[in-house]
Structure 1
Amino acid sequence: MSDLPLWGSIAFAILVIGGATLTLLGCIGMLRFPSFYARIHAPTLGTSFGMVGIVLASALYFTLIQGRPVLHEILLVVFIIVTTPVTLMLLSRAALHRDRSEGDETVPLPNLHPKDPPPTPGE
């Protein structure tokens, strides 16, 4: 990394460490939360924001080394930002459908208007 200026090395290190830390926090959240519905939220945020830091570090490093803007990493950001929430919704809806069809009592109830009567079992 001798070709990098000092400011570039510092910015690169901060982005990589920040991105890795956010990804690690998402993984720890996945292990610590008690239910599937709570667990799917933490890794989604951790991977999304952690990935942004690591991809920005990659773009900065190769821009400084090659002496020209390297922007193709933006495609990675767009792809992961679009696919991660969609995957989260599909997984959570599939698990919710499965749990409700099996009659699991611990499943979160749908949002009800205060005047609506509570759902009857099997509904």
Structure 2
Amino acid sequence: MPFYLEIIVSISLLIGSAFLLIGSYGLVRLPDIYMRLHSPTKASTLGITGILVASMIFQSHLKGFLSIQELLITLFLLITAPVAANMIAKTALHHRAKPLERTQNQELIDVIRDREPPRSPHDPS
């Protein structure tokens, strides 16, 4: 393997590992569910992406052609992580999980929780 590819793979692994470490620390350290959503959805997604990019470069060099399995996994994670975070936030709202006292705009939580669902344009009522 050429030295420049080893450098690229190593840097990508280090960046990905740093983001995963920060995301894991945030998941343990942040105090409530609404803040904890940011660690797995932002930092950890970037960390996994860095590691999968390193794997894609390494496997592409070994096989001699572009390895797309890692690219597909990365795209899947980048698409599904925000959706999963949205569902977790909606579940926390539904179960009335309390935010911290110092959280700003807490009155919006009640507004969001108690709002009416949108009506269909074909609804007769």
Question: What TM-score do you get using the length of structure 2 for normalisation?
Answer: 0.76
Q: Which residue identity lines up with residue 72 of structure 1 in the other structure?
A: Q
Runs of 4+ residues deviating >2 angstroms: 104-109
Q: Aligned partners of 1:57 and 1:23: how far apart in 2?
A: 14
Gaps of 5+ in 2: 116-125
Q: Which residue identity lines up with residue 75 of structure 1 in the other structure?
A: L
Match of 2:25 in 1: 28
Gaps of 5+ in 1: 112-117
| Percent identity between the two aligned chains | 27
RMSD, aligned α-carbons: 2.5
- Check if 1:79 corresponds to 2:76: yes
Matched-pair contact (CA < 8 Å) for 2:24–2:40: yes
Cα deviation 1:68-101 (Å, max 9, x = unaligned): 121221110111111111110101111111117x
Q: Aligned partners of 2:15 and 2:100: how far apart in 1?
A: 36
Q: Higher relative CO (CA 8 A, sep ≥ 6), structure 1 or 2?
A: 2
Q: Secondary structure at the match of 1:22?
A: helix
Per-residue deviation at 1:105?
7.7
What is the number of equivalent residue pairs in this alignment?
109
